[in-house]
Structure 1
Amino acid sequence: MAELSPMMQQYQKIKAENQGAILFFRLGDFYEMFFDDAVLASKELELTLTARDCGQNKKAPMCGVPYHSSESYIARLISKGYKVAICEQMEDPALAKGLVKRDIIRVVTPGTVLEGSMLDEGKNNFICSIYAIGDHAGICFCDISTGELYSTSLDKDLENEILNELGRFSPREILIGGETVNMKKLAPFIRDKLSACVEMREDAEFELETCRRTVLEQFKKETLDDLGMEGQDQAVSALGALLNYLKDTQRKVPLKINRIENYTQAQFMGIDLNTRRNLELLETMRNKEKRGSLLWVLDQTKTAMGKRLLRTWIEQPLLSCGKIIRRQNAVEELYCDPFLCGNLADQLTGVFDLQRLITRIVYGTANGRELRSLSATIGLLPELKKMLENRKSELLQSIYEDLDTLEDVHDLIEGSIVDDPPFSVREGGIIREGYNQEVDELRKDMTGGKDYVAAIEKREREKTGIPKLRVGYNRVFGYYLEVTNSYKDQVPDSYIRKQTLTNCERYVTQELKDLEGRILGAKDRCVQLEYRLFDDIRTTVSAQQERVQKTSNAIAQLDVLCSFARVAVKNQYCRPEVNLSGKIVLKESRHPVVELLSDASPFVPNDALLDQDENRVLVITGPNMAGKSTYMRQIALIALMAQLGSFVPAASAEIGLVDQIFTRVGASDDLASGQSTFMVEMNEVADILKRATSNSLLVLDEIGRGTSTFDGMSIARAVLEFVVDKRKLGAKTLFATHYHELTEMEELMDGVKNYSIAVKKRGDDITFLRRIIRGGADDSYGIEVAKLAGLPQPVINRAKQVLKELETGQEVTPKTKAPKKARKEEPPAPQISLLPSAESEIEERLKKVDVNTLTPIEAMNLLFELAKMAKEG
């Protein structure tokens, strides 16, 4: 350090205090990076790497970015998972005595971004904190850009529950603490599957007493009971550690989070990661796009706030009939009044993102344009509120009451900020004329300097009688009065000689000095004054944070409800009856996504009946591609949509509340962890059977297909028996299978009903009718489906021959392998039998069985056993 220059010593000191971040060090108009940071940033940002003298004739690697366009560079680093510490000049370099003071004003991390250019307006940007000890864990999520904060406690099946909560909120950054071994196992999974930045934090950051004080201080409460967190030690530790982390990143600005939602899992339908993916709630499985997802169908929102809230609602279906019906009543009122719904949509179209605007204002990062956006949105609120007068539904009445028209904020911004303010707040031109008298006078000095000079020149000519007296200016001497030598005898004594030239003299007066000070200093003073005034205006607006947030939440709800209503009208949805009956009864139900993507032919609707009695399990058979998966998914999606408060794609619908939806649809190898397709499938099934309840909805597609026929069929039957048995589970289940033998379960166990996909066959061709009918399928039509898929005709022909051989047990095609040459027969060597012959064992086994009473499955299992005995014999 002693060998470095003073500035480099300052840099190294600040860098040592921020080791985990790339340091953006302000030098004039640039943010510079040095040493290892420079090497790293030049590679990640594709910047030219240069060098700078750092003392003792040594060079330090250096690269930099312009400060006025730094956001795009910071965004690129954040997207790669880096943190950026922004080090600003804390004093004017022109006024500094010696080395300019510098300090960190903020640390930008993936989960603490505030800038709109770095955020997806339709998604929350959550940071998460997890603290687990033993069988208990606390987990909280915060979106600092909107001020949202959520917290909950977990006390069972921690690994799965934590993953499900992470899947619900999809955080960009995760802080983990505690002593639970599983946390360390979760970290790589979170990093790979959720693309989140994971950081293991020191235990000291989660110390309970410290975190308790932090939480109470932040929310200005005396006890944890006031927050509903008494006894939730792990949640308090997770929350306190997160708040302290956020304070550390914001540095110079107090943390402006004033509300918390302490929720429980019992409030929302359980949807695990596999189900979110399989049902394609927010994005498609194949290409990760919004188009083709449930979100794509339901999103007719007009505001960024509405888009984020819709995602939240889809991720968190309700488990309260009262809350669901409250939403339904509002949707129905809008549905029945398309004129009102259309006008609301038009009015919402011009609404900016109030949630993020007020947050940037509060943290002092908003510029004049963002204040104008806030004012423009507030200008729409009176008319919006007027449209909601005298509404019948309770939720629309509540939204009406929560809509604050904020006239005082609107008047302040309109009266103080120019219509088209500059991007920068430190270069002037932002304060409206007439708002501040001193600013107006300074601007007159800036623009009217020539008039003042001309007036002085005219007055001095008349006063002295010198016709050619003029006022001039140069950078060295400033303003001066110039008199030629022929008139210098007429110069008044009040003139002060400034400069003598060959043919003239130059003078100054006190008035001219004062004018010079006014004109030359007016711009700097005006810029500084405008910034102070703007900062005062921004601070005044920030004090209205709670009012703006309340209004923004009301607008978001209204936007989503209008979206539900418009989608229902457009797609001919019905209002479902939601109750506690445990039934799912659908008439002419449709898949909400597939029907919109089916351009070639109309979607074929189907009925559905599930309950907790005679229709607990529907065994669905039929060929691939016929529509089994579509049918099962549409039932699950309709149940989920109903519990959002949305209308559903059906002629009529009754939905008994579903506490959880589980799906086992397709699987793939997990090579990284050494698991095959079958192992992945069995893990998923095991998790479902362990966590499901009798009020859950299970969608199980082709259980047991990843192993041998007998093993797979045995597993499928055992699973089917488990889910239908009320003493074990008794959950509503859609069970698709190619094991036709399982259709006999309808005769063997109460609660099982067979359904199949209707197929029309003409010769070797089949047509899928897409209609669900009672009874099991008579064939799998696998070869016909293979033909539709485009397998070569010789392959199809040979498959038919092999199938006939397998069905008849007779060889109907000649062998293609050349026969072996005959060998000379030799008499067998005498052998001593140590074990009973296989034939005798088989005979003994058959004597114990009445083959006439065997079921098909029992017969196949017996044949498998006998074949094994013969092979071993």
Structure 2
Amino acid sequence: MEGLPEGVKLTPMLEQYLHWKRQYPGYLLFFRMGDFFELFFDDAVAASELLDLTLTARDAEKAIPMAGVPHHAVDGYLARLVEAGRRVALCDQVTEPDGKTLVERRVVRLVTPGTFVPPESGQEGLLAACIPGKPCWALALLSMSTGRFEAGNLPEQEARSYLLSFSPQETLVPRGLEGFSLEGPLVERERDLFSVTAAEALLKHRHGVLSLEGFGFEPRDAALGAAGAVLRYVEETQFGRTGHLQTLRRIQPRSGLLLDPSSQCNLELVEGRGGSLYGILNRCKTPLGRRLLREWILHPLNDPEAIELRQEAVQALVDTPSLRESLRRVLEGLPDVERALSRLHLNTGGPRDLGACRDFLSRLPRLESFRDRPPLLPWLPEPCPGREELGESLSRALEETLPRNLREGGVIRPGHDGELDSLRQCLGDAKGWLRSYEEGERARTGIRNLKVGFNRVFGHYIEVGKAAADRVPGEYQRRQTLVNCERYVTEELRTFEDRRCGAEGALAEREERLWNDLLTRTLSRTADLQAAARKVAELDVLHGFAEVAAARGYCRPLVDEGETLSIRGGRHPVVEAALTPEPFTPNDLELDGDQRRMILLTGPNMAGKSTFLRMGALLVLMAQMGSFVPAEEARIGRIDRLFTRIGARDDLNRGKSTFMVEMMETAQILNGLGPRSLVILDEIGRGTSTDDGMSIAWAVMEFLQEETELRPKVLFATHYHELTALAEKLPGVRNCSVAVEETPRGLAFLHHVVPRPASRSYGVDVARLAGLPESVLLRSRELLSRFEARRREGTELLPQEERPRSGETGQRRLFDVDLEALLEELSLCDPDRMTPLQGLETLYRLREKGRMIWGRDKA
């Protein structure tokens, strides 16, 4: 084994450790020894660094590194290792130590990032599989926390968006894919594990059916290969424990509003440095609701009828505060039954997880009181006699306060089982017998400090101080000598101990039998419990929507099949919350499918252009997930795809500059447009020279309005004021700007969008607000006046006499590039045969070559 020092003599225990380590070479091996899981050799070194553990040594020569964690706290350490991307094999003791033979151990659990059910309810273990193909990718996704299992086929861009929205901890892919990249950790698996034929057989057997068509899957469907790969991986790592997995469902392409990957990041939907939409809407009272809220934010609806169904429930709760309060009291404190079921199925749960199922079931009947409210009916769990009977059984059988582990005892209530009560009474009498025996021996021997005690090594004993050793009766048998006392045992005490051990064993066995019966009955109702949990989660999210709407004065938007996107008095939900108690300046937004398809927004930096753009996008998302929105009035003609290009960022890990990332994201937008798309573009072209940037921005505007029959709705912010002239050329473009006021003290931002272009650029004014030295500002204004005058005259901005002569710059060319080769490559380009993405990539490549030829950087 790597890391094994030469000449080290291995004990039988270490030989056993290495045997299991060889079986799982890619895993950190947690090796159970008493109350600890220990790691040795390289695993110990790695774990000590990742977990901040003390690194010790096993042998006297300190040649074998060793580190360990308490077994009762192992889940917390596993969570940290999984977060670091490591895998763990847990090798547990499967026989009790007898002091004579080596304890038998076996790997009982494999922990990987995608299959780990985290101890915190806010997290979710997600595992995916992906088979890239043409024209679609086959995908499968499994939540280990909830058991949700789905698969389908999506076009590449939709597939990437789908995977990014869930951010699985592991994505399984066939081994040997060339040129394939995907966000998040990838796990390569042998190609035969993605076999569609094998997957069909596996899934048919699992669901007990002859055909999968009833689940929406045709024979030889590629998505089944992905689903089969996921299922086999779970069976392998969880040793066949897959009972909590729900029935396989089909991923429906374009069933909701599609968010491209850039939008999910740019809009800070679920996390962000300055707050997120999730943070604003999260008024959920349960872990179930908090998980579902994230899903709803990243997967809004695209069906006005389904949206209205959610809105009706929110409206009822907004209109009736007492109803909202009553529902809050029922939801508050409901346990995470989905996670509890998963842990019980995976054999990592305990009495408290079964107690969570009991508490959940005992609270469900309280939701029945809301059935007289029709808007809430679709969101209430259906009555289920079997589920209610299970809840009553668990309440009768389980103690109110439960231990972490079954072996601690005290799981079953007194009075539930007569045999168990008798065994407990026997043990209770034993304590009384020990007290009586101790008092009797003190009286008989005259040793007043005589004590009867117990430890796990020697069992029960009689302890006598050294000063009274001469009064110890002859029938006392010495068992242990300590510094200040001696410990003895008698035949009477041995007989008692045998009886007590037998009673303890019988008690543990009986309680385990009763526990297993309750566990089996509970797990048999997994599907019913999961369905009820989903309803509770939906109700919790809708209740949260109502709480936010009532507290912040949101309105109910109209979402329909029309082409109008109209918002009156709209406010950015996250910025508004951050400004409290300062008032947020509301703005109107009007777009349609004809004469107002694009708003071209100009104005200085810091005036609020990006806030306005994000407001429009977020209010559409909120409306289509069923939430009310921060506005006086809103009408949303449903959007099927939302694209955003906001903010500058480098992708240096992949060797891509800010400008390249910007162009690639723009290309994805232009190639992915649908008939009901909303496109948000902020400062296109600012990552390159002014002429290049303005040309690209101009061309993109024309493409969006003229060269596509899809004619999307567009919000386009720019610092190129020359583009405002396009409003006269393109009939669907309307100029708007963020108003500013020039005062004697400087520029005042009004944050109000007005229907006219900005009168001029305010770059120098913004520089003054940023604190640039006065001398720099004066020189800037002087140069700006000169440049503007020369631009009006049509002369060069920098006269010949002010330009540096050849050789004065001190710069040298790094590469001798053949100009003729560049011209030849340019002449061979065929723009008519290029996609927008290929065209932009070619332009970027040729520009870089041009820079090297001329020895200067124009960007």
Paired position in structure 1 for 2:756: 775
Distance, in Å, in 2 between the alignment partners of 1:5 and 1:249 is: 29
1:80 correspondence with 2:84: yes
Contact 2:738 2:758 in 1 (8 A): yes
TM-score for both structures, normalised by structure 2: 0.82
1:243 to 211, 231, 236: 231
In structure 2, relative to structure 1, the CA distance for the partners of 1:640 and 1:793 (3 Å cut) is: same
Q: Helix, strand or coil for the counterpart of 1:181?
A: coil
1:45 correspondence with 2:51: yes
2:160 to 160, 163, 172: 163
Q: How far did 1:410 drift? A: 2.9
Distance, in Å, in 2 between the alignment partners of 1:76 and 1:411 is: 38
Q: How far did 1:59 drift? A: 6.1
Paired position in structure 2 for 1:721: 702
| Aligned residue-pair number | 763
TM-score for both structures, normalised by structure 1: 0.81
Q: Report Cα offsets for 1:8-44 as digits up to 9, x if no partner.
A: 4433332222122111122222222233323322333
Q: How far did 1:514 drift? A: 6.9
Counterpart AA for 2:270: L
Alignment of 1:840-855 (within 5 A): none
Q: How far did 1:516 drift? A: 5.3
Distance, in Å, in 1 between the alignment partners of 2:803 and 2:652 is: 42
Q: How far did 1:313 drift? A: 0.3
Distance, in Å, in 2 between the alignment partners of 1:338 and 1:405 is: 34
Contact 2:57 2:64 in 1 (8 A): yes
1:275 to 249, 259, 263: 263
Distance, in Å, in 1 between the alignment partners of 2:383 and 2:708 is: 49
In structure 2, relative to structure 1, the CA distance for the partners of 1:753 and 1:8 (3 Å cut) is: same
Paired position in structure 1 for 2:467: none
Paired position in structure 2 for 1:328: 311
Counterpart AA for 1:84: V
Paired position in structure 1 for 2:40: 34
Q: How far did 1:79 drift? A: 1.7
1:610 correspondence with 2:591: yes
Alignment of 1:140-151 (within 5 A): 140-151=140-151
Q: Helix, strand or coil for the counterpart of 2:108?
A: strand
Paired position in structure 1 for 2:823: none
Q: Report Cα offsets for 1:143-165 as digits up to 9, x if no partner.
A: 112111222212x4x2x443312
Counterpart AA for 1:114: V
Distance, in Å, in 2 between the alignment partners of 1:429 and 1:47 is: 33
Paired position in structure 2 for 1:746: 727
Distance, in Å, in 1 between the alignment partners of 2:759 and 2:732 is: 22
Bigger Rg, structure 1 or 2? 1
In structure 2, relative to structure 1, the CA distance for the partners of 1:586 and 1:404 (3 Å cut) is: farther
Q: How far did 1:598 drift? A: 1.8
Distance, in Å, in 2 between the alignment partners of 1:115 and 1:670 is: 30
1:444 correspondence with 2:444: no
1:337 to 280, 297, 320: 320
Alignment of 1:549-698 (within 5 A): 549-599=530-580, 601-698=582-679
1:20 correspondence with 2:26: yes
Q: Report Cα offsets for 1:331-357 as digits up to 9, x if no partner.
A: 112121121012111221121111112
Paired position in structure 2 for 1:126: 126
Contact 1:133 1:234 in 2 (8 A): no
Contact 1:31 1:67 in 2 (8 A): yes
Contact 2:175 2:188 in 1 (8 A): no
Distance, in Å, in 2 between the alignment partners of 1:628 and 1:455 is: 85
Contact 1:132 1:179 in 2 (8 A): no
Q: Helix, strand or coil for the counterpart of 2:231?
A: helix
Distance, in Å, in 2 between the alignment partners of 1:500 and 1:36 is: 48
Distance, in Å, in 2 between the alignment partners of 1:62 and 1:705 is: 55
Paired position in structure 1 for 2:465: none
Q: Helix, strand or coil for the counterpart of 1:107?
A: strand
750-759 or 707-716, which deviates more:
707-716
Counterpart AA for 1:681: E
Distance, in Å, in 2 between the alignment partners of 1:584 and 1:621 is: 20
2:109 to 106, 109, 117: 106
Q: How far did 1:522 drift? A: 2.2
Counterpart AA for 2:725: E
Paired position in structure 2 for 1:832: none
| Alignment root-mean-square deviation, CA | 3.5
Paired position in structure 2 for 1:218: 206
Q: Report Cα offsets for 1:273-316 as digits up to 9, x if no partner.
A: 211121111112xx3xxx62111111111111001101000000
Q: Helix, strand or coil for the counterpart of 2:753?
A: strand
Q: How far did 1:624 drift? A: 1.5
In structure 2, relative to structure 1, the CA distance for the partners of 1:779 and 1:358 (3 Å cut) is: same
Q: Report Cα offsets for 1:455-501 as digits up to 9, x if no partner.
A: 99999xxxxxx999xx9999999999xxxxxxxxxxxxxxxx98999
Distance, in Å, in 1 between the alignment partners of 2:539 and 2:459 is: 66
Contact 1:141 1:149 in 2 (8 A): yes
1:390 correspondence with 2:384: no
Paired position in structure 1 for 2:342: 359
Q: Report Cα offsets for 1:317-374 as digits up to 9, x if no partner.
A: 1111121111111111212112101211122112111111222233333222333333
Counterpart AA for 1:83: R
Counterpart AA for 1:708: S
354-363 or 681-690, which deviates more:
354-363
In structure 2, relative to structure 1, the CA distance for the partners of 1:542 and 1:137 (3 Å cut) is: same
697-706 or 303-312, which deviates more:
697-706
Q: Helix, strand or coil for the counterpart of 2:650?
A: coil
Contact 2:381 2:532 in 1 (8 A): no
Distance, in Å, in 1 between the alignment partners of 2:785 and 2:745 is: 15
In structure 2, relative to structure 1, the CA distance for the partners of 1:513 and 1:679 (3 Å cut) is: closer
Paired position in structure 2 for 1:834: none
Q: How far did 1:218 drift? A: 2.3
Distance, in Å, in 1 between the alignment partners of 2:196 and 2:459 is: 68
In structure 2, relative to structure 1, the CA distance for the partners of 1:398 and 1:683 (3 Å cut) is: closer
Distance, in Å, in 1 between the alignment partners of 2:339 and 2:200 is: 28
Paired position in structure 1 for 2:95: 91
Paired position in structure 2 for 1:181: 178
Distance, in Å, in 2 between the alignment partners of 1:405 and 1:792 is: 77
In structure 2, relative to structure 1, the CA distance for the partners of 1:400 and 1:431 (3 Å cut) is: closer
Paired position in structure 2 for 1:859: none
Paired position in structure 2 for 1:483: none
Paired position in structure 2 for 1:407: 388
Q: Which stretches in structure 2 are left out of the alignment for 5+ residues?
A: 2-7, 463-473, 479-488, 805-859
Q: Report Cα offsets for 1:633-660 as digits up to 9, x if no partner.
A: 1111111111101111111111111111
Paired position in structure 2 for 1:370: 353
Contact 2:382 2:532 in 1 (8 A): no
Q: How far did 1:541 drift? A: 1.8
Contact 1:403 1:555 in 2 (8 A): no
Q: Which stretches in structure 1 are left out of the alignment for 5+ residues?
A: 191-195, 460-465, 481-496, 821-873
In structure 2, relative to structure 1, the CA distance for the partners of 1:423 and 1:499 (3 Å cut) is: closer
Paired position in structure 1 for 2:848: none
Paired position in structure 2 for 1:844: none
Q: How far did 1:441 drift? A: 2.2
Paired position in structure 2 for 1:829: none
Q: How far did 1:615 drift? A: 0.4
Distance, in Å, in 2 between the alignment partners of 1:250 and 1:423 is: 21
Paired position in structure 2 for 1:864: none
Contact 2:234 2:242 in 1 (8 A): no
Q: Helix, strand or coil for the counterpart of 2:407?
A: coil
Contact 1:573 1:647 in 2 (8 A): yes
Contact 2:216 2:249 in 1 (8 A): no
Paired position in structure 2 for 1:138: 138
Distance, in Å, in 2 between the alignment partners of 1:715 and 1:500 is: 97
Q: Helix, strand or coil for the counterpart of 1:593?
A: helix
